[in-house]
């Protein structure tokens, strides 16, 4: 599956929903116009094959090892990533959460643009487009309405940032009850607690 895509590093530790990895210097020297070939950076999506799934992770921190910090080509980087989900077996469908963690020393690959599209695909769910993805501006970023409205959520913003218009739109189009009230920014924590407990 990864034959045409070179590994950029190896898994060195796995704990809960995070993993650490050694990343080779070459991963930071790529040059290209899209996220699959641009130099690796925080926020990049990575993938790791397990025996039963393809696990996806988002790079959350990068630290140069001693040799790389001196400019030595033999050096590398230590990366930390959050495990965000997987495609299990032959389903071809991304799901949040990981049922099978990556193994130590497993090769780490950069996610392709097809992988990114699969991760952010909302399928036929009711959704609202809110912009485009940083990873690929041609892919739409959506909020899944049913998922959002089935949980507590808040729409916050400064005066003039359209939070009232957004609230009215959701109320009108989705038929939900919203509690809309101004709050004192100095007492935000108390206001949020009161709204949740109401």
Element of type H or E holding 195: helix 188-197
Do residues 133 and 112 both lie within one domain?
A: no
Do residues 39 and 111 both lie within one domain?
A: yes
Q: What is the mean pLDDT of residues 161-172?
A: 71
Token readout for 175 is 């038929």
Measured CA distances, 66 to 11, 35, 69, 72, 76 (Å)? 19, 27, 5, 9, 8
Q: Is 78 inside a domain boundary?
A: yes
Instruction: Please give the residue range of the domain that contains residue 161.
Output: 127-197
Element of type H or E holding 197: helix 188-197
Token readout for 148 is 């959002």
Do residues 105 and 136 both lie within one domain?
A: no
- Distance, in Å, from the CA atom of 143 to the CA atom of 134, rounded to the nearest integer, reads 15
**Domain end marker among 97, 119, 141:** 119
Residue 51 pLDDT greater than 80, yes or no: yes
Q: What pLDDT score was predicted for residue 1?
A: 46
Q: Is 3 inside a domain boundary?
A: no
Contact 133, 70 (CB under 8 A): no
Q: What pLDDT score was predicted for residue 56?
A: 96
Do residues 34 and 105 both lie within one domain?
A: yes
- Residues counted in the chain: 198
Q: What pLDDT score was predicted for residue 188?
A: 65
75-131 pLDDT tens trace:
788 999 999 999 987 778 899 999 999 999 999 999 988 898 888 887 777 777 777
% of the chain beyond a pLDDT of 90: 31
Q: Is 2 inside a domain boundary?
A: no
Identify which has the larger pLDDT, 20 or 6.
Answer: 20
Which residue, among 75, 78, 21, 76, has the nearest Cα to 48 in the 3D structure?
21
**Domain end marker among 119, 144, 159:** 119
Do residues 98 and 161 both lie within one domain?
A: no
Q: What pLDDT score was predicted for residue 117?
A: 87
Do residues 45 and 76 both lie within one domain?
A: yes
Q: Is 62 inside a domain boundary?
A: yes
Q: What pLDDT score was predicted for residue 53?
A: 94
Which residue, among 87, 2, 1, 77, has the nearest Cα to 44 in the 3D structure?
77
Q: Is 89 inside a domain boundary?
A: yes
| Phi then psi dihedrals of residue 173, to 5 deg | -80, -25
**Domain end marker among 119, 151, 181:** 119
Do residues 88 and 178 both lie within one domain?
A: no
Element of type H or E holding 69: helix 66-69
Domain count, the chain: 2
Confidence of residue 31 (pLDDT cuts 50, 70, 90): low
**Among 34-43, 79-88, 95-104, 158-167, the least confident range:** 34-43
Confidence of residue 23 (pLDDT cuts 50, 70, 90): very high
Q: What is the mean pLDDT of residues 163-183?
A: 65
């Amino acid at each position: 599956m990864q034959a045409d895509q070179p590994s950029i590093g190896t898994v060195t530790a796995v704990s809960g929903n995070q993993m650490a990895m050694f990343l080779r210097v070459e991963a930071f020297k790529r040059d290209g116009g899209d996220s699959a070939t641009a130099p690796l950076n925080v926020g990049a999506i990575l993938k790791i094959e397990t025996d039963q799934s393809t696990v996806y992770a988002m790079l959350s921190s990068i630290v140069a090892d001693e040799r790389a910090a001196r400019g030595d080509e033999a050096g590398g980087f230590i990366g930390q990533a959050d495990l965000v989900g997987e495609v299990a077996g032959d389903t071809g469908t991304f799901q949040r959460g990981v049922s099978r963690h990556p193994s130590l020393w497993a090769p780490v690959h950069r996610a392709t643009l097809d992988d990114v599209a699969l991760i952010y695909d909302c399928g036929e769910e009711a959704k609202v487009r809110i912009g485009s993805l940083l990873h690929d501006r041609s892919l739409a970023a959506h909020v899944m309405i049913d998922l959002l409205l089935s949980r507590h959520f808040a729409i916050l913003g400064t005066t003039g940032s359209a939070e009232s218009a957004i609230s009215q739109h959701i109320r009108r189009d989705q038929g939900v009850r919203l509690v809309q009230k101004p709050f004192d920014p100095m007492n935000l924590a108390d206001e949020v607690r009161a709204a949740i407990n109401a």
